[in-house]
Amino acid sequence: MDRFYEKTRDRLIEYAKIDTGSLPNTGRTPSTDNQFDLARVLFKELKDIGASDVYLDEKNCIVYGNIPSNSKKDIMPIGYIAHMDVSPDVKSSDVKPWVYENYQGGDIVLNKELNIVMEEALYPNLKNYIGMDIVFTDGTTLLGGDDKAAISTLMTFAEYLIEHPEIEHGPIRLAFTPDEEVGGLAKDLDLERFGAKLAYTIDGDYVGTINYETFNATEAMVSIEGLSVHPGTAKGVMINAVDVGVELINMLPLNERPYTTEGREGYYHSHYFKGNCEHADVDILIRDHDNDEFQRRIDFINSCVEKLAEKYGKERFSLTYSNGYRSMLNVVKPHMYMIDYLENAMKSAGVTPSITPFRGGTDGSAISHRGLPCPNISAGYENGHSRFEFVPIQSMVKNVEILIKLTDEFVKNA
């Protein structure tokens, strides 16, 4: 127990100091070279703890490692995946992690010099960690607990199994991947080399989180050609692409926007609009957990654009869809035992499972649709993508315990 505490704490602090910020739209893999800095550390560490088949994919920046089965039973290989990059939304260099021991409630001074205070009233989730030891930053950067808390947990879990051959387990596969935060979708993860039959991404926030339902997603990109003439003589002639764009956006139901929906409610999100009288581009994100509803939303956007095309001329509109992913639900459903085992593991570690439909996508969504069922479980961080991100050390310890119990579930049920 104490052992997991020190190991996870020290690892998180070490990994957090390595800047692994990724960047969107670079067209490169990995999007930033600095992700190799952590990949090399993890590659060496996996070797040092005695993992097998340790491999660093030098092209795609993915680290692999195995723990071979020590059981006489025929147990299927279980994979665990965590991502090495951190969000580009907030500064990720010069991270200064520190530990607040035995938090007793109240505001937390992150940075005296710059007067950065984390107010309990603004971050009520702090209350869930009374009595715990929490890793914070100095309030000027990310911590990167998303997803380095998961890497710390996995490394500690792997080391424990290797050092305790008396604990029976099946084959365990580990992979550390790049660019999750910028839509990398673990696309270069070599499933054959990975060799898992089932896998979990460890990338959720608070302990107990289980997501096996994600959004279905696509992005409708509408471009509008206007007809620009001198405004003084425009009557009956001008077609203002900006106005047509606004007309399109106003056709989207107000109660089906990101800021008016929650839980399993889908939405339309007009997230990009740029243009002038002559030309405008409107991009609308479409999200829904339900497959039929998702299709209905696409049909709705099509009909909106058709209506405008009838009014202003077909040749003025183009509509394309991209940046899609699909919910993992249908892929995971035939393997619901992997969720049952996880719930059992959490309960026997004293954690209440919290199954929520995820209002986003995960790398596991894409991995699932490549044929490897891959739900998401908690990494233990809070306030990801924020300067107020933190990780309770006891959360990582719990997650190591959960992984050990989960391993046992697969042994018991083999």
The smaller minimum CB distance to Zn ion, of residues 213 and 409, is found at: 213
Please state the closest distance from residue 225 (CB atom) to Zn ion, in A: 40
Please state the closest distance from residue 228 (CB atom) to Zn ion, in A: 45
Comparing CA positions, the residue from 96, 99, 120 lying closest to residue 108 is 120
| Cβ within 8 Å of residue 306, ≥6 positions away | none
The smaller minimum CB distance to Zn ion, of residues 24 and 105, is found at: 24
Considering only 19, 45, 85, 147, the residue that binds Zn ion (CB under 5 A) is 147
The smaller minimum CB distance to Zn ion, of residues 147 and 382, is found at: 147
User: How deeply is 169 buried, as exposed, middle or buried, from its count of CB atoms within 10 A (0-12, 13-18, 19+)?
Assistant: buried
| Cβ within 8 Å of residue 298, ≥6 positions away | 218, 220, 286, 321
Per-residue exposure over 204-214, b if at least 16 CB sit within 10 Å of its own CB, e if not = bbbbbbbbbbb
User: What is the C-alpha to C-alpha distance for residues 37 and 46, in angstroms, rounded to an integer?
Assistant: 15
85 is catalytic: yes
Contact of 354 with 346, CB cutoff 8 Å: no
Tell me if 179 contacts Zn ion by CB under 5 A: no
Please state the closest distance from residue 178 (CB atom) to Zn ion, in A: 12
- Active-site choice (45, 57, 147, 180): 180
- Active-site choice (19, 45, 57, 85): 85
Alpha carbon distance, N-terminus to C-terminus of the chain = 27
Comparing CA positions, the residue from 398, 335, 55, 26 lying closest to residue 208 is 398
Size of the site for Zn ion (CB under 5 A): 3
The smaller minimum CB distance to Zn ion, of residues 199 and 304, is found at: 199
- Rounded to 5 degrees, what angle do the CA atoms 99, 101, 107 make? 85
Tokens 């009956």 belong to: 236
Window 313 to 332, contacts with Zn ion (CB under 5 A) = none
The smaller minimum CB distance to Zn ion, of residues 71 and 356, is found at: 356
The smaller minimum CB distance to Zn ion, of residues 82 and 220, is found at: 82
Please state the closest distance from residue 361 (CB atom) to Zn ion, in A: 11
Contact of 96 with 139, CB cutoff 8 Å: no
Candidates 140-148, 234-242, 316-324, 392-400; binding stretch for Zn ion (CB under 5 A): 140-148
Q: Is 363 helix (H, G, I), strand (E, B) or coil?
A: helix
The smaller minimum CB distance to Zn ion, of residues 110 and 202, is found at: 202
Please state the closest distance from residue 179 (CB atom) to Zn ion, in A: 11
Structure tokens at 210: 């289980």
Considering only 85, 146, 205, 256, the residue that binds Zn ion (CB under 5 A) is 146
Please state the closest distance from residue 277 (CB atom) to Zn ion, in A: 42
Binding mask 43-72 for Zn ion (x = CB under 5 A): ------------------------------
Q: Is 247 helix (H, G, I), strand (E, B) or coil?
A: helix
Window 202 to 221, contacts with Zn ion (CB under 5 A) = 203
Please state the closest distance from residue 12 (CB atom) to Zn ion, in A: 14
The smaller minimum CB distance to Zn ion, of residues 137 and 344, is found at: 137
Query: What DSSP character marks residue 384?
Result: T
Please state the closest distance from residue 146 (CB atom) to Zn ion, in A: 4
Per-residue exposure over 7-25, b if at least 16 CB sit within 10 Å of its own CB, e if not = bbbebbbebbebbbbbeee
Contact of 201 with 84, CB cutoff 8 Å: no
Comparing CA positions, the residue from 38, 69, 67 lying closest to residue 53 is 67
180 is catalytic: yes
Comparing CA positions, the residue from 165, 174, 156, 234 lying closest to residue 52 is 174
Which residues contribute to the site for Zn ion (CB under 5 A)? 146-147, 203
Q: Which residues are catalytic?
A: 85, 180
